[in-house]
């Protein structure tokens, strides 16, 4: 790889030219990394709902042409000026949010919301010079959440790169750079269920099942899965879910159903759908005195959370989380080690594998709601 250092690399990338249209495989030029940037060779990437959401561009600023993708694993090809923590050949996970290590958030043990590098979905350029590192015939192709992993090579700010154990299989741990860590951390770092406790998980997609996995690892004895799609229940058993509730089966609010099942409410709940009704239910279904509800899903921008203040005064706690409260550079390597130590299972999240040339099939699978994670192999 050393022959490419300092050179423009021409490689294949799947470009989104316009909203909702199939990605087009193009030859793109990837410029060398600038100050505090790293150029990565992406080996595996997977598709997350966030990619589909911004590809559809319903309800946010459309930024096209763009290279999407943010859940991935790869190897450092070269580093820019000022980068000392990474070197060519390092195995890494690029992450959609960052850790500069200098701001008040990064210095706080409680926050992972870096002032410099937190997620910005509107920005399609690098923060160093306000320019894109991707181009076709000299015309810029925009970045996505600082990662743009639907390209054989990409350029990322060093603060958005987690250096991991070189023995970790990249085709498995790539899923830890977004959704799985988000759900897992929501349980382990924020809800913090105790051994023998009860936990309700709202939404049994990949993030919700990762939250269930976190509750299982923590030793929860009852993990109640809540979803409108009953076909998800069988699969959820593999992730530690012990009971299921479909709100459509009841005439009363689901929080009342759960309170009756658990003698007053669950000890912890984790909401992973982003629907405001589920968020309210997740809060109102926890036990008074000690119950904690954690919101993970991103709501519609017009959504309003309404509940009676007595629910708080009766000592229920409502929390929110971003990326499972993990700091990308400091914490994600240890999540990879959980997998290496067999504490965390990742294989069961991976339901499909496709070559890069068939990336549009991965979009089709997600739009149909089939499977959890589809791994896209970049090499031919």
Catalytic residues: 48-50, 70-71, 100, 103, 106, 114, 118, 178, 373
Helix (H, G, I), strand (E, B) or coil at 122: coil
Number of other CB atoms surrounding residue 6 within 10 Å? 11
- Cβ-Cβ contacts under 8 Å for 367 (sequence gap 6 or more): 52
Closest C-alpha among 373, 337, 331 to residue 190:
331
What is the H or E stretch that residue 76 is in? strand 71-79
Q: Tell me the C-alpha to C-alpha distance, in Å, between residue 124 and each of 146, 148, 150.
A: 8, 10, 14
Q: Tell me the C-alpha to C-alpha distance, in Å, between residue 101 and each of 83, 115, 142, 157, 292.
A: 13, 10, 26, 13, 30
Helix (H, G, I), strand (E, B) or coil at 68: coil
Residue count of the chain:
380
Distance, in Å, from the CA atom of 210 to the CA atom of 48, rounded to the nearest integer, reads 14
- Cβ-Cβ contacts under 8 Å for 116 (sequence gap 6 or more): 98, 100, 102, 103, 127, 159
- Burial class of 193 by CB neighbour count within 10 A (0 to 12, 13 to 18, 19+): buried
**Helices 359-367 and 49-56, axial angle in degrees (round to 10):** 90
- Cβ-Cβ contacts under 8 Å for 177 (sequence gap 6 or more): 70, 71, 72, 73, 93, 94, 95, 96, 162, 332
């Amino acid at each position: 790889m050393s022959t490419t250092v300092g050179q423009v690399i021409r490689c294949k990338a799947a470009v989104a030219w316009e909203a909702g249209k199939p990605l087009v495989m193009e030859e793109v030029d990837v410029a060398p990394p600038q100050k505090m940037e790293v150029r990565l060779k992406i080996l595996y990437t997977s598709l997350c709902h966030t990619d589909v959401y911004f590809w559809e561009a319903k309800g946010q600023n459309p930024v096209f042409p763009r290279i999407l993708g943010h859940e991935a694993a790869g190897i450092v090809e070269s580093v820019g000026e000022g980068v000392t923590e990474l070197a060519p050949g390092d195995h890494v996970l690029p992450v959609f949010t960052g850790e500069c290590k200098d701001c008040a958030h990064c210095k706080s043990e409680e926050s992972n919301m870096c002032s410099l590098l937190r997620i910005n979905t509107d920005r399609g350029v690098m923060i160093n010079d306000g320019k894109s590192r991707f181009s076709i015939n000299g015309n810029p192709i925009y970045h996505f959440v600082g990662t743009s992993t639907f390209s054989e090579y990409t350029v990322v700010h060093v603060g958005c790169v987690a250096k991991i154990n070189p023995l970790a299989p990249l085709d498995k741990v790539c899923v830890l750079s977004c959704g799985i860590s988000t759900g897992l951390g929501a349980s382990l770092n924020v809800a913090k269920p105790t051994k023998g406790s009860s936990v309700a998980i709202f939404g049994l997609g990949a993030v919700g099942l990762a939250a269930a996995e976190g509750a299982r690892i923590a030793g929860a004895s009852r993990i109640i899965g809540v979803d409108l799609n009953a076909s998800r229940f069988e699969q959820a058993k593999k992730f530690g879910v012990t009971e299921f509730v479909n709100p459509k089966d009841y005439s009363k609010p689901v929080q009342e159903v759960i309170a009756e099942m658990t003698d007053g409410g669950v000890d912890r709940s984790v909401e992973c759908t982003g629907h405001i009704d589920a968020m309210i239910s997740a809060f109102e279904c926890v036990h008074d005195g000690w119950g904690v509800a954690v919101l993970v899903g991103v709501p519609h921008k017009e959504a309003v959370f309404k509940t009676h203040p007595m629910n708080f005064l009766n000592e229920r706690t409502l929390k929110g989380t971003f990326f499972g409260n993990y700091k990308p550079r400091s914490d994600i390597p240890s999540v990879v080690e959980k997998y290496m130590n067999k504490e965390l299972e990742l294989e069961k999240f991976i339901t499909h594998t496709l070559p890069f040339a068939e990336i549009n099939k991965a979009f089709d699978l997600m739009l149909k709601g089939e499977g959890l994670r589809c791994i896209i192999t970049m090499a031919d």
